[in-house]
Structure 1
Protein backbone atom coordinates (compact mmCIF):
# COMPACT_ATOMS: atom_id res chain seq x y z
CA UNK A 1 0.00 0.00 0.00
CA UNK A 2 2.87 2.37 0.79
CA UNK A 3 4.36 1.65 -2.62
CA UNK A 4 1.08 2.67 -4.23
CA UNK A 5 1.04 5.95 -2.32
CA UNK A 6 4.66 6.64 -3.23
CA UNK A 7 3.98 5.92 -6.89
CA UNK A 8 0.92 8.16 -6.89
CA UNK A 9 2.85 10.98 -5.22
CA UNK A 10 5.66 10.54 -7.72
CA UNK A 11 3.29 10.89 -10.67
CA UNK A 12 1.64 13.95 -9.14
CA UNK A 13 5.05 15.57 -8.68
CA UNK A 14 6.03 14.63 -12.21
CA UNK A 15 2.91 16.20 -13.74
CA UNK A 16 3.35 19.31 -11.59
CA UNK A 17 6.94 19.62 -12.79
CA UNK A 18 5.72 19.31 -16.39
CA UNK A 19 3.30 22.16 -15.76
CA UNK A 20 6.02 24.35 -14.29
CA UNK A 21 9.00 23.57 -16.51
CA UNK A 22 9.88 22.50 -20.02
CA UNK A 23 9.53 18.83 -20.86
CA UNK A 24 13.10 18.72 -22.18
CA UNK A 25 14.35 19.41 -18.66
CA UNK A 26 11.80 17.52 -16.55
CA UNK A 27 11.87 14.15 -18.33
CA UNK A 28 15.65 13.60 -18.20
CA UNK A 29 15.64 14.37 -14.47
CA UNK A 30 12.87 11.81 -14.01
CA UNK A 31 14.77 9.21 -16.02
CA UNK A 32 17.88 9.64 -13.88
CA UNK A 33 15.91 8.37 -10.89
CA UNK A 34 17.31 4.94 -11.76
CA UNK A 35 20.62 6.16 -10.31
CA UNK A 36 18.94 6.88 -6.98
CA UNK A 37 17.34 3.43 -7.00
CA UNK A 38 20.62 1.66 -7.68
CA UNK A 39 22.53 3.69 -5.09
CA UNK A 40 19.77 2.95 -2.55
CA UNK A 41 19.90 -0.78 -3.28
CA UNK A 42 23.69 -0.74 -2.90
CA UNK A 43 23.75 1.23 0.37
CA UNK A 44 20.73 -0.29 2.10
CA UNK A 45 20.62 -3.84 0.74
CA UNK A 46 24.31 -4.25 -0.20
CA UNK A 47 23.37 -5.49 -3.66
CA UNK A 48 26.11 -5.83 -6.22
CA UNK A 49 25.80 -4.68 -9.81
CA UNK A 50 26.81 -7.10 -12.53
CA UNK A 51 29.00 -5.87 -15.37
CA UNK A 52 26.08 -6.13 -17.76
CA UNK A 53 23.83 -4.09 -15.46
CA UNK A 54 26.59 -1.53 -14.90
CA UNK A 55 27.03 -1.16 -18.65
CA UNK A 56 23.28 -0.66 -19.02
CA UNK A 57 23.28 1.95 -16.27
CA UNK A 58 26.15 3.80 -17.90
CA UNK A 59 24.39 3.77 -21.28
CA UNK A 60 21.13 5.03 -19.76
CA UNK A 61 22.96 7.79 -17.90
CA UNK A 62 25.03 8.88 -20.91
CA UNK A 63 21.97 8.82 -23.16
CA UNK A 64 19.90 10.83 -20.70
CA UNK A 65 22.62 13.42 -20.16
CA UNK A 66 23.11 13.64 -23.93
CA UNK A 67 19.39 14.35 -24.38
CA UNK A 68 19.64 17.34 -22.07
CA UNK A 69 22.46 18.83 -24.15
CA UNK A 70 20.63 18.71 -27.48
Structure 2
Protein backbone atom coordinates (compact mmCIF):
# COMPACT_ATOMS: atom_id res chain seq x y z
CA UNK A 1 0.00 0.00 0.00
CA UNK A 2 2.75 2.50 0.93
CA UNK A 3 6.08 2.89 -0.82
CA UNK A 4 8.67 0.75 0.93
CA UNK A 5 11.75 1.57 -1.12
CA UNK A 6 14.72 3.36 0.41
CA UNK A 7 13.88 6.75 -1.06
CA UNK A 8 10.56 6.87 0.81
CA UNK A 9 12.16 6.35 4.21
CA UNK A 10 14.75 9.07 3.54
CA UNK A 11 12.04 11.43 2.24
CA UNK A 12 9.92 10.75 5.33
CA UNK A 13 12.89 11.45 7.60
CA UNK A 14 13.50 14.63 5.61
CA UNK A 15 9.90 15.69 6.30
CA UNK A 16 10.27 14.98 10.03
CA UNK A 17 13.46 17.02 10.28
CA UNK A 18 12.02 19.79 8.09
CA UNK A 19 9.08 20.02 10.48
CA UNK A 20 11.45 20.25 13.43
CA UNK A 21 13.40 22.90 11.53
CA UNK A 22 10.33 25.12 11.37
CA UNK A 23 9.53 24.69 15.06
CA UNK A 24 13.11 25.21 16.26
CA UNK A 25 13.58 28.19 13.92
CA UNK A 26 10.37 29.87 15.04
CA UNK A 27 11.55 29.71 18.65
CA UNK A 28 15.15 30.65 17.76
CA UNK A 29 14.43 33.78 15.72
CA UNK A 30 12.63 35.66 18.47
CA UNK A 31 14.48 38.94 18.88
CA UNK A 32 17.03 38.13 16.13
CA UNK A 33 17.18 39.47 12.59
CA UNK A 34 15.95 36.71 10.28
CA UNK A 35 18.92 37.09 7.90
CA UNK A 36 21.42 36.76 10.75
CA UNK A 37 19.51 33.72 12.01
CA UNK A 38 19.68 32.19 8.53
CA UNK A 39 23.45 32.78 8.41
CA UNK A 40 23.94 31.13 11.82
CA UNK A 41 21.80 28.17 10.78
CA UNK A 42 23.70 27.82 7.50
CA UNK A 43 27.05 27.78 9.32
CA UNK A 44 25.83 25.04 11.62
CA UNK A 45 24.57 23.05 8.62
CA UNK A 46 28.03 23.35 7.06
CA UNK A 47 29.66 22.01 10.22
CA UNK A 48 27.19 19.13 10.61
CA UNK A 49 27.52 18.06 6.98
CA UNK A 50 31.32 18.36 7.09
CA UNK A 51 31.39 16.01 10.06
CA UNK A 52 28.96 13.64 8.36
CA UNK A 53 31.01 13.48 5.15
CA UNK A 54 34.27 13.03 7.08
CA UNK A 55 32.97 10.40 9.50
CA UNK A 56 31.30 8.32 6.79
CA UNK A 57 34.40 8.35 4.57
CA UNK A 58 32.59 10.07 1.69
CA UNK A 59 35.12 12.85 1.16
CA UNK A 60 36.50 13.25 -2.36
CA UNK A 61 38.24 16.14 -4.06
CA UNK A 62 35.49 18.61 -5.04
CA UNK A 63 37.87 20.30 -7.50
CA UNK A 64 37.75 17.12 -9.59
CA UNK A 65 34.04 17.58 -10.26
CA UNK A 66 32.95 18.69 -13.74
CA UNK A 67 32.15 22.35 -14.38
CA UNK A 68 28.48 21.53 -15.09
CA UNK A 69 28.22 19.95 -11.63
CA UNK A 70 29.71 23.06 -10.02
CA UNK A 71 27.39 25.32 -12.02
CA UNK A 72 24.20 23.53 -11.05
CA UNK A 73 25.21 22.88 -7.44
CA UNK A 74 26.12 26.57 -7.26
CA UNK A 75 22.74 27.60 -8.66
CA UNK A 76 21.07 25.22 -6.22
CA UNK A 77 23.03 26.81 -3.37
CA UNK A 78 21.98 30.31 -4.43
CA UNK A 79 18.33 29.21 -4.69
CA UNK A 80 18.58 27.52 -1.28
CA UNK A 81 20.05 30.61 0.33
CA UNK A 82 17.35 32.87 -1.08
CA UNK A 83 14.66 30.35 -0.14
CA UNK A 84 15.94 30.11 3.44
CA UNK A 85 16.15 33.89 3.79
CA UNK A 86 12.54 34.20 2.60
CA UNK A 87 11.44 31.31 4.81
CA UNK A 88 13.00 32.77 7.95
CA UNK A 89 11.52 36.19 7.18
CA UNK A 90 8.08 34.58 6.78
CA UNK A 91 8.54 32.61 10.02
CA UNK A 92 9.49 35.75 11.87
CA UNK A 93 6.27 37.53 10.94
CA UNK A 94 3.88 34.61 10.50
CA UNK A 95 2.73 31.48 12.28
CA UNK A 96 4.83 28.36 11.70
CA UNK A 97 1.68 26.30 11.18
CA UNK A 98 0.81 28.52 8.20
CA UNK A 99 4.25 29.41 6.85
CA UNK A 100 5.57 25.84 6.59
CA UNK A 101 2.65 24.45 4.57
CA UNK A 102 2.75 27.39 2.15
CA UNK A 103 6.51 26.86 1.81
CA UNK A 104 5.69 23.31 0.75
CA UNK A 105 4.01 24.73 -2.34
CA UNK A 106 7.52 24.10 -3.61
CA UNK A 107 6.37 20.48 -4.00
CA UNK A 108 3.88 21.57 -6.63
CA UNK A 109 6.46 23.74 -8.36
CA UNK A 110 9.01 20.90 -8.37
CA UNK A 111 6.49 18.67 -10.15
CA UNK A 112 5.70 21.36 -12.72
CA UNK A 113 9.39 22.24 -13.28
CA UNK A 114 10.38 18.54 -13.47
CA UNK A 115 7.66 18.04 -16.08
CA UNK A 116 8.74 21.09 -18.09
CA UNK A 117 12.53 20.84 -17.82
CA UNK A 118 13.46 17.28 -16.86
CA UNK A 119 10.93 15.37 -18.92
CA UNK A 120 9.42 13.67 -15.89
CA UNK A 121 5.88 12.42 -16.38
CA UNK A 122 3.97 11.85 -13.13
CA UNK A 123 1.01 9.48 -13.37
CA UNK A 124 -2.56 10.73 -12.97
CA UNK A 125 -2.60 9.51 -9.36
CA UNK A 126 0.53 11.55 -8.63
CA UNK A 127 -0.91 14.66 -10.31
CA UNK A 128 -4.00 14.25 -8.10
CA UNK A 129 -1.79 14.31 -4.99
CA UNK A 130 0.07 17.34 -6.31
CA UNK A 131 -3.28 19.08 -6.97
CA UNK A 132 -4.40 18.33 -3.40
CA UNK A 133 -1.24 20.00 -2.07
CA UNK A 134 -1.92 23.04 -4.27
CA UNK A 135 -5.51 23.12 -3.02
CA UNK A 136 -4.32 23.01 0.58
CA UNK A 137 -2.07 25.99 0.00
CA UNK A 138 -4.98 27.89 -1.55
CA UNK A 139 -7.13 27.11 1.50
CA UNK A 140 -4.41 28.47 3.79
CA UNK A 141 -3.99 31.61 1.68
CA UNK A 142 -7.73 32.31 1.43
CA UNK A 143 -8.70 35.32 3.51
CA UNK A 144 -11.89 35.07 5.57
Normalization by structure 1: what TM-score? 0.67
- Choose the corresponding residue for 1:46, options 91, 107, 119: 119
Q: Which runs of 5+ in 1 are unaligned?
A: none
Higher relative contact order (CA 8 A, sep 6+): 1
Structure 2 CA distance, aligned partners of 1:56 and 1:11?
25
Aligned to 2:134: 61
Q: Answer yes or no: is the 8 Å Cα contact 1:32–1:61 preserved in 2.
A: yes
User: Which range is displaced more, 3-12 or 42-51?
Assistant: 3-12
Structure 2 CA distance for partners of 1:15 and 1:7, relative to 1, 3 Å: same
Q: Answer yes or no: is the 8 Å Cα contact 2:115–2:121 preserved in 1.
A: yes
- Choose the corresponding residue for 1:22, options 87, 94, 115: 94
Q: Answer yes or no: is the 8 Å Cα contact 2:108–2:133 preserved in 1.
A: no
Q: Which runs of 5+ in 2 are unaligned?
A: 1-72
Whose radius of gyration is greater, 1 or 2?
Answer: 2
TM-superposed deviation, 1:37: 0.8
Say which structure is richer in helix. Answer: 1
Q: Which runs of 4+ in 1 moved over 6 A?
A: none
Aligned to 2:17: none
- Choose the corresponding residue for 1:35, options 79, 100, 108: 108
Structure 2 CA distance, aligned partners of 1:40 and 1:56?
16
TM-superposed deviation, 1:10: 2.6
